[in-house]
Amino acid sequence: MDHPAEDDLVDVDLYDDGSPLEFGWNCAPGAAAIRAALRGEGPIPETGLVTRRQLRALGLSPGGQQPTIPLVWRGGRRRAWFYRIELAVPKRVPTLAQEAALDRAMAARQTCPTCRRRYYACLPLRTQGQCEPCDKGYEPSPDTVMTYPAPARTDSPPATAAPPSGDGR
């Protein structure tokens, strides 16, 4: 009777369909620590896996890596994807020109075209076309309006100097 060597043994999982691992709400390793970290109430678990929000809090981004394991709850309708910390890269810092462009874009969304006030929240310009106080005819409360003036509007080209008049000497 020949006994197969240990090298010949193969572990066969009859229930493995080749899909990635998926853990239920309470089935993931360290599930309680992960839930606490998702809520921001605890440290990042020692598993080396974190969510996108936790990466962002650490100043990191996924860096092109694919998510490893989802944490699934609410019958599969909600998922939290986990990324490996060691493959994450530092998040990019925007240049001053990019920050200025973003500020101009937000100023366009937050500035009323009628009264030229800039608000802290974006205005319903597509539906109303102006801010709520201009639409309803009252003064805005001081805590909703930014104190510095909105950038000057440049609809018309700047005036150019007139050509010199005279005999051309």
Rounded Cα distance, 109 and 146, in Å: 13
* Closest residue by Cα to residue 82 from 98, 100, 106, 62: 62
Q: Is the pLDDT of residue 99 over 90?
A: yes
* pLDDT tens digits for range 131-162: 999 999 999 888 888 876 556 666 655 555 55
Assess contact for 153 and 126: CB atoms under 8 A: no
- DSSP type of residue 39: T
Assess contact for 131 and 140: CB atoms under 8 A: yes
Q: Is the pLDDT of residue 57 over 70?
A: yes
Rounded Cα distance, 155 and 92, in Å: 34
pLDDT, average across residues 33-38: 66
What's the mean per-residue pLDDT of the chain? Answer: 77
Q: Is the pLDDT of residue 113 over 90?
A: yes
Rounded Cα distance, 24 and 26, in Å: 6
Rounded Cα distance, 167 and 169, in Å: 6
